[in-house]
Amino acid sequence: MPLGGCSGDFSALDPAGRSAASIASLWWAMLWGSFALFALVLGLFLAAVLIPRFGRGVSQKRWIILGGLVLPVPVLTGLTFYAFAHGEFLLRGAVSETDEVLEVRAVGRMWQWQFSYPSVPGSAVHTDLLHIPAGRTVEIIAESEDVIHSFWVPRLGGKIDAVPGHSNRLRIRADQPGRYGGICSEYCGTGHAGMHFEVQAHRQEDFREILTGGLHHD
Amino acid sequence: MTENQSIHHNPIALHKALDRIWGTKPGWGRLAAVNHNVIGVRFMLTALVFFAIGGVLAMLIRTQLASSQSVFMDAETYGQVFTMHGTIMMFLFAIPFFEGMAIYLLPKLLGTRDLAFPRLGAYGYWCYLFGGMILIGALLAGVAPNSGWFMYTPLSSSVYAPGINSDVWLLGITFVEISALSAAVEIIVTIMKIRAPGMSLDRMPIFAWYMLVVATMMLIGFPPLILGSILLEVERAFDLPFFDPTRGGDPLLWQHLFWLFGHPEVYIIFLPAAGAISTILPVLAGTPLAGYRMIVAAIVSMAFLSFGLWVHHMYTVGIPHVALSFFSAASALVAIPTAIQIFAWLATLAHGRARFSIPMLHIFGFFFVFVIGGLTGVMLAMVPFDWQAHDTHFVVAHLHYVLVGGFIFPMLAMAYYWVPHLTGKQPVQHLSHAAFWMIFIGFNLTFFFMHLTGLRGMPRRVFEYPPEFGWEVLNFVSSMGSFVMAMGFALIALDFILLFKFGRAFRRNPWKAGTLEWAMPTPPPPYNFASIPRIDCRADLLDPDVIGPHLAAGRGYLGIPRDDRMEVLGVNSVTGEPEQLVLLPRQTFLPFWTAVATGSFFLLMLFKFYWATPVALAAVIVCFCLWSRSDASSFDDDAVPIGHGETVPVHIRAESPPSYLAMVLTLVADTTLYISLLFGCLFLWISAPNWPPENLQNPNLWLLILAAATMSLGSIGSRISKKSAHMALVGNGLAFAGHLISTGLLISIAFYSLPSPSGHAATASLFVILCYVALHGVVGSIFAAHALLRALRDHDMSVRALDLKIGGLWHDYSAASGFAAVGFCLLLDSLVHGGGL
Amino acid sequence: MRHPLLLLILAFVVWSGTFLLVYATQATGCSLGWHNDEIAFWRSPLRLILIVLVLTSLVAIVGTLAWLRRRHKPAAALQTSSFIGEVKTYVAVAAIFSTAFCFAGVFWLTLCPL
Ligand code: HEM
Ligand SMILES: [Cu+2]
Ligand SMILES: [Cu+2]
């Protein structure tokens, strides 16, 4: 991929998990499609303005039907229905067979995130640091204590808003152990720009020990 | 009679006579201006001043973001700057600018002398100006709104934004929106009723179709925003918890109300610009517009679809996938009517011979930029992609491609096309090319790479970013591009200044257009046409060079001014055949004073002098009552000659006068607001946490039913009063009493029998609904009192018939709203107590 | 209410009504638990209700178009009424397509929050 390779910690174009990867491929497909459509429309515009008699052979009604219906209707139908299926796939956590998901509560407040693991007894609460197992689907339960925030780890998947009074769910997944940047993406006041956090994906074996404080991490 | 004779067919004498009647007086008289030429230009110039302010703020944003960890602005200042940039551009620049353009152009394209309600236009202008000044004042004082242009709660609520900042937005913008609603009513009525004879629906210039659709969208789109603003302001001021999740409110209610307005808004901004392109492009291509009928169908479909996609701004708030799919599909669909228009324009170009000119250059800019914006729009409509791109700089890039492509470039094309009309001078065109290319290149440099910035993870609305995030180079490029663009705009300004100073005069119709605005002298006289044409083919295929002199000589309709009256023709909305003679009100200071009174209400709210607000409201009502004194009744005949041997009645005696339609439209907007309110309250029951409330005592139901029943006395009374002159006293008296009693009952229920509305959103909802109906009772009693007074003074029955008809509409609506309130109470009760059906 | 412009938009008014109804039913159904996770997805009562709603309104809009075409009588000048007739048909066809397209998701997409 020509543009994506060199980007940093936050790039959605440099995916590190299946959710993010499938969205990135959707983006590249749409990008190339858009290039083609843009070149077509602009080409027709320039030709119609600059080349005398260009396009006169086609009746006006035909122009409109071809360009306004025949061209966009199939493209949009295909894209929309693909996106529906894709959305379902992402909701399942970007896996075809739902394996057991790990639930993480992510509570946003001005201006930090707190992560806890309701299903892991004895696990500690971390601030601005989220430990997850690599290769396993994680379900974020996003909640807020004050205003609206939004949980986003660009390299692992989409984002979900933490709306006070609601708890919203989002499935993400890291394929490999590593560190990934996370960032609040709903304006939440003067501290919004600084509301980053870090995601550390660990090998399955290390994960549980880290949660219960057995293993060191930095 | 002798004076008339001398005017006959003498253009100069005719001009003098008409100019004396229609012209705006100098000096203080300018504040009394009602003429659409004056008001339209004022709207556009004021909007351009706001555009400059918004542009300066944009440069501040770009300066701040040019490098990482810039120390130019702190987070609070940055918050105010980006909020005000967005707010100014959307509410104080884009909408008012095209309102001004429509006010200026529509009567000319429709072949008439002014809009249907000149005073309303003037009132709208003053509301816009004063509301805008409140916002700019706050910016200068450092207390500008700071929660983003969509003002999401709870960030904008009194808990997290205790200062005056959010109130400035809510009150200032609502004040400005009065002008949008009044413009909507005025534009629709004008297009439907005040056209040149013979201009049937299928002969209207395409621009009129665009504006008809846009104005209708405004009529439906703005009420949800106004409702949301009222509810949020009420929450901030009086602690009614509509959006507070701890007391049964829901922040998502605000988002729904805002975007229910906010998305159609984008099309409300784009469609007038598209209408201008559909008008200009065929002229430059030297051939009629292709696919007139398909374009009309496309924009009608687009208007509807655009109301079914607001949730695409809310894909990440936790709405279930199936619901997202409705909005995602509608968002994709809306691209089709757009494609139809684009290809209609291409077809026009292909079948014509394009003349190269400055407007054409800007149309090229429009195609290039807008198509990219449309394509990224389709991408964002796809839920999975939006989950990544939402609220990043990708969206910032997309929205500027759409707005600058869909509004700024068409606006510049229009400017170069119509400024000769406005000034009577043709451009010198030394700077125009350079200015275009600087804007075009600067724009793409700024925003093209910003897509990538967003995909690389930069959220919008951040004032700083650490260098190691890797966003610095892209941002630097964007900032440089924006400075180039700013210089381009400066050049444009200079170009127009040169045009005003050194432009060459021209004879008629420099572009060889086929529309009526060129069939008049330029700059246009206040009355536009010395006499009104008859149209016998589509009104963009005419020959202004022939029609112009003909009309100037007074050979059309109404070619002889009489008794200092401002006369236009009202026509059948379908066939365009003349139906009535509409007498317009003369110049008056009333709109100005009414706007001052309205402004004082908003200022008192802003500075929390709530106790004094009733005085301001009373002042507003008194001012509006003064508006209704009209002098049309002095025409006694049923049939007034209008020229060409035809006669029509004066509008107050006509079958369907403009003011009747205006009332219908006002009630449409009002209904939209009420439905949004009722649905909003039901939405809380579905979505908000902490439901059902612990102790929802319903209001005393029998009392409520009694209130609704007395309210319907208004509509019974108004029916009785139409029977005969004797019954008028009885009927109106009944209506008056019914409204007063019912209002009293409603207020007593709201204030005494409900538990405190600040306890839970359910009670707050009931409270607001009761107040809404009570407000209609108050206004209804004013209508009834007015009719009663006139009946006492014993005016001629046929003159009062119009007042009674209009009042009758109001009475019927208030009665219906009363019964709807009863129904709502029952429903809420069964939902809450019935344990959910 | 027989103004030609109102007839012109009638089909899309039905579309708007459908939109409101389907969205409101979906939200209400989820809040009242009509979707019932336990049974197979296609037997969820909420899904069945939504499907019926969508199909009914599709029939209603097609019916509208048929009705519009049948009652179409040249009222005003020939040109004007041919114009209105043609635009009305385009708009109605667009509304039919929009209904089928917008609500197709009710057949299989996730109905309620997880
Ligand atoms: C003249 C050149 C312009 C430049 C350089 C510019 C720049 C920007 C930038 C950088 C932002 C993002 C601020 C942030 O997220 O931190 C922004 C936001 C925005 N701009 Fe512009 N803009 C320009 C013109 C316009 C125009 C013409 C319009 C509308 C007609 C517009 C409407 C908006 C809106 C609605 C926002 C969102 C504000 C918010 O997030 O609350 N801009 N602009
Ligand atoms: Cu934030
Ligand atoms: Cu939108």
Assigned domain for C34 exists = yes
Predicted local confidence at residue B837, as pLDDT: 39
Residue pair C35/C111 in contact (Cβ under 8 Å)? The answer is yes
pLDDT tens string C75-110: 556 788 889 989 999 999 999 999 999 999 999 888
Minimal C-alpha gap between B815 and chain C (Å)? 21
Label residue B240 exposed, middle or buried (CB < 10 Å: 0-12, 13-18, 19+).
Answer: buried
What is the spatial distance between Cα B62 and Cα B58, in angstroms, rounded to a whole number?
Answer: 6
Among residues B809, B765, B806, B779, which one has the least CA distance to residue B674? Answer: B765
Ligand 1, residues B77, B147, B400: which to mutate, most atoms within 8 A of Cβ? B400
Q: Grade residue C39 by pLDDT with cuts at 50, 70 and 90.
A: low
Between CA A137 and CA A145, with CA A142 as vertex, the angle to 5 degrees is 155
Predicted local confidence at residue B586, as pLDDT: 86
Among residues B169, B339, B151, which one has the least CA distance to residue B253? Answer: B151
Assigned domain for C114 exists = no
Q: Which residues of B641-652 are buried (b: 16+ CB within 10 A; e: fewer)?
A: ebbeeeebbbbb
The H or E element containing residue B580 is strand B578-584
Between CA B82 and CA B525, with CA B93 as vertex, the angle to 5 degrees is 165
DSSP SS3 for B609? coil
Total domains in chain C come to 1
Residue pair B427/B503 in contact (Cβ under 8 Å)? The answer is yes
- Please list the helix, strand and coil fractions of chain C in percent, rounded to the nearest 5, in that order: 75, 0, 25
Assigned domain for C93 exists = yes
Q: Which residues of C39-63 are buried (b: 16+ CB within 10 A; e: fewer)?
A: eeeeebebbebbeebbeebbeebbe
Please identify every stretch of chain B with a pLDDT value under 70, giving residue numbers as ranges: 1-8, 629-637, 696-699, 794-800, 834-837
Check pLDDT > 70 for residue A187: yes
Taking contacts as CB-CB distances below 8 angstroms, the residues of chain C near B683 are: 27
Pairwise CB contact (< 8 Å): B326 & C30: no
Residue pair B342/B371 in contact (Cβ under 8 Å)? The answer is yes
Taking contacts as CB-CB distances below 8 angstroms, the residues of chain B near C9 are: 300, 304
What is the spatial distance between Cα B494 and Cα B510, in angstroms, rounded to a whole number?
Answer: 22
Q: Cis link prior to B526 (omega < 30° from 0)?
A: no
Residue pair B183/B215 in contact (Cβ under 8 Å)? The answer is yes
* Through-space distance between the first and last CA atoms of chain A, rounded to whole angstroms: 33
Pairwise CB contact (< 8 Å): A88 & C101: no
Tokens read off for B370: 């807008």
Q: How far is the CA of B383 from the centre of ligand 3 (A)?
A: 13
Q: How many CB atoms lie within 10 A of CB B316?
A: 25
Chain C interface mutation, best of A64, A84, A166, A170, highest count of C Cβ atoms under 10 Å:
A84
Set out the domains of chain B in order of their start, with CATH numbers: 2-17+513-652 (no CATH), 657-833 (1.20.120.80)
Minimal C-alpha gap between A205 and chain B (Å)? 30
Assigned domain for C10 exists = yes
- Chain B residue with CA closest to A79: the answer is B382
Between CA B642 and CA B648, with CA B646 as vertex, the angle to 5 degrees is 70
Assigned domain for C109 exists = no
Label residue C6 exposed, middle or buried (CB < 10 Å: 0-12, 13-18, 19+).
Answer: exposed
The question of ipTM being above 0.85 is answered as yes
Minimal C-alpha gap between C96 and chain A (Å)? 14
Output the residue whose Cα is nearest ligand 1's atom 29: B89
DSSP codes joined into one string, B757-773: TTS-HHHHHHHHHHHHH
Hey, which bits of chain A come out as E strands?
102-109, 112-116, 126-127, 129-133, 138-144, 149-152, 159-162, 168-172, 178-184, 196-202
- Classify C95 in phi/psi space as left (phi over 0), alpha (psi -120 to 50) or beta: alpha
Q: Grade residue C74 by pLDDT with cuts at 50, 70 and 90.
A: low
Phi, psi angles (nearest 5°) of residue B322: -65, -35
Pairwise CB contact (< 8 Å): B301 & C91: yes
Ligand 1, residues B74, B85, B450: which to mutate, most atoms within 8 A of Cβ? B85
Chain C interface mutation, best of B326, B579, B678, highest count of C Cβ atoms under 10 Å:
B326
Tokens read off for C40: 């197979």
DSSP SS3 for B564? coil
Assigned domain for C111 exists = no
Predicted local confidence at residue A218, as pLDDT: 45
Among residues B636, B634, B599, which one has the least CA distance to residue B619? Answer: B599
**How does strand B566-571 pair with strand B578-584?**
antiparallel
Assigned domain for C108 exists = no
Residues within a 6 A CB radius of ligand 1: B 55, 58, 61-62, 82-83, 85-86, 89-90, 94, 148-149, 396, 400, 403-404, 407-408, 446, 460-461, 482, 485
Please name every residue paired with B532 in a beta bridge, in sequence order, or none if there are none: B557
Residues, chain A, total? 218
What is the spatial distance between Cα A94 and Cα B437, in angstroms, rounded to a whole number?
Answer: 46
What is the spatial distance between Cα B214 and Cα B265, in angstroms, rounded to a whole number?
Answer: 9
Q: How far is the CA of B197 from the centre of ligand 3 (A)?
A: 39
Residue pair B481/B442 in contact (Cβ under 8 Å)? The answer is yes
Q: Which ligand is the nearest neighbour of the Cα of B395?
A: 1
pLDDT tens string B207-216: 999 999 999 9
Minimal C-alpha gap between C44 and chain B (Å)? 14
Phi, psi angles (nearest 5°) of residue A78: -60, -50
Across the interface, which of B318, B392, B462 has its CB nearest the CB of A163? Answer: B318
Residue pair B700/B755 in contact (Cβ under 8 Å)? The answer is no
Taking contacts as CB-CB distances below 8 angstroms, the residues of chain A near C104 are: 81
Taking contacts as CB-CB distances below 8 angstroms, the residues of chain A near C105 are: 84
Predicted local confidence at residue B826, as pLDDT: 87
Tokens read off for B284: 């430059």
Check pLDDT > 50 for residue A1: no
Check pLDDT > 60 for residue A6: no
Residue range of the domain that includes C62: 4-72+83-103
Pairwise CB contact (< 8 Å): B307 & C16: yes
Q: Which residues of B480-514 are buried (b: 16+ CB within 10 A; e: fewer)?
A: ebbbbbbebbebbeebbebbeeebeeeeebebebb
Residue pair B679/B611 in contact (Cβ under 8 Å)? The answer is no
